[in-house]
Amino acid sequence: MALLANTEQEASVGTSTNLAWIWKLHLPPKINQFLWILAHNRLPTTKYLEHIGVLHSSLYRTCNSAEIESALHVFLKCDRVADLWSSLGISQQINMLANISPSSTNWLHDLIWILPKLHIYRIPSKVFLAFCLWSIWTACNKLIFEEITINLTIHNIAHMAQEFWFLAGSTRVPTRSIMLYVKWNPPVHSHVMLNTDAFFDATTGICRTGGVFWDYYGNWILGFASSSYSANTLEAEAKAVFQGLSIGQEHAISSIQINIDSKELVAQLGCSPTNNSPLLYDCRCLLQRMGSPDICHIYREQNRLADALVSTITTIAAFMHNSPATVMLFWESPPSLMDILRADQRGDLTARRVKYSSIDQDVHNISVVDVVHISTSLARATSASSSVVAMPQLLFL
């Protein structure tokens, strides 16, 4: 037991405390396990076998060197591997790694991750270098146990690595990106569009919410903004939708369509929600009472007016600090938002770069809108009477 404890202590010297990077390499499992053993100084080299009492001599038996056979010597210092590293053009880096402390295995991490990127038959450098280490070790064992000499050449190693990588290693679906030009989506004729947005500060827990009601022609009907506290971004976005629906119901705004730039919230308000928080439950109930309007996901560039309205809350931060639960109503567009409002009314286009899979091209990216219809047959509730205090262009609920 003492011998094993001493071995464990010596093996940990110089070894990186976080070796999770080994399992992140996309390699055959046997090579991942090989690297794991090597990183822990457990590879059965002559030096290690002598240390645990299996052998009585630690001389290296596969080359003419009188140096002790350690992992550092096998992979970096041996004359048999010098030609391989030279053919890869990294002899200088290998020599630098070979001069570190013999008890350290940090060289393994540096070799796999820090050396310049190689381009050998389009194989990632980390994968190719791992196969190089594996080939060196198998060639060493072949020579000792079977007296078979294996030439360590780039061609032989690349053939083995290439076969794995192109048959099993490259599992990621190739992606591309395209440039879309998007604009604000007007509602169906005789309907009212509700755009909402929210900002959440994870440090303070403060969230700012806002939204705009406008008609088919892009005319401003009503805007609102508020500041409160929230637990996360999804809850902040849900608060904005709930406030918009409540204000729409209170002011008898019917036939509403909802556009938001939170795809997660659209999914949670859909037919198969996974989050049943009280706020989301209230949103679903209010949607049912209002006739289950369509909720559409749009890009942020299509939601510029609501986003800008949320940003205006910072200009009246003193008021919001004193009355954090107050919702402000805007019967006219604030002057600072007129340029964005006119641009949306004209249908000005904004560039948006979108990533999509070459295998599964989403048709929603072409129509620039994702629609989730929340089906229900409940009748729309009658709107409640409004109790507000009128002020020029601004009301406080």
Calculate mean pLDDT across residues 182-190.
89
Tokens of 268: 């949670």
Give the pLDDT score at 4: 36
> What band does 174 get if pLDDT is binned at 50, 70 and 90?
low
Give the pLDDT score at 386: 32
Calculate mean pLDDT across residues 50-70.
72
- Least confident piece of the model among 59-63, 328-332, 355-359: 355-359
Calculate mean pLDDT across residues 126-143.
92
Using CB atoms within 10 A of its CB, is residue 181 exposed (0-12), middle (13-18) or buried (19+)?
exposed
> What band does 239 get if pLDDT is binned at 50, 70 and 90?
very high
Instruction: Enumerate the H helices of the chain as residue ranges.
Output: 2-11, 20-24, 29-39, 46-51, 71-72, 79-87, 91-98, 106-113, 125-141, 154-164, 233-250, 263-268, 278-289, 304-311, 317-322, 338-346, 364-367
Using CA atoms, how far apart are residues 241 and 156, in angstroms rounded to an integer? Answer: 62
Calculate mean pLDDT across residues 68-84.
87
**pTM exceeding 0.85:** no
Query: How long is the chain?
Result: 397
Given a contact cutoff of 8 angstroms between Cβ atoms, the answer to whether 394 and 330 are in contact is: yes
What are the structural domains of the chain?
A: 28-171 (no CATH), 181-396 (3.30.420.10)
Give the pLDDT score at 15: 42
Calculate mean pLDDT across residues 350-360.
64
Give the pLDDT score at 273: 79
Residue 61 pLDDT exceeds 70: no
> What band does 104 get if pLDDT is binned at 50, 70 and 90?
low
Q: What is the DSSP letter of 146?
A: I
Kindly report, residue by residue over 277-319, the tens digit of the pLDDT.
899 999 999 999 998 898 989 999 999 999 999 887 655 544 4
More confident residue, 140 or 103: 140
Cα atoms in the 13 Å half-sphere on the side-chain side of 366: 4
Residue 208 pLDDT exceeds 60: yes
Calculate mean pLDDT across residues 318-330.
64
> What band does 390 get if pLDDT is binned at 50, 70 and 90?
very low
> What band does 374 get if pLDDT is binned at 50, 70 and 90?
very low
Mean confidence (pLDDT) of the chain: 78
Q: What is the DSSP letter of 275?
A: -
Give the pLDDT score at 145: 85
Calculate mean pLDDT across residues 237-252.
93
Percentage of the chain lying above the pLDDT 90 cut: 33
Residue 265 pLDDT exceeds 50: yes
Percentage of the chain lying above the pLDDT 70 cut: 75
Crossing angle (nearest 10°) for helices 304-311 and 338-346: 170
Give the pLDDT score at 395: 37
More confident residue, 43 or 60: 43
More confident residue, 390 or 353: 353
Give the pLDDT score at 178: 77
Give the pLDDT score at 180: 81
> What band does 237 get if pLDDT is binned at 50, 70 and 90?
very high
Calculate mean pLDDT across residues 153-178.
79
Using CA atoms, how far apart are residues 221 and 209, in angstroms rounded to an integer? Answer: 18
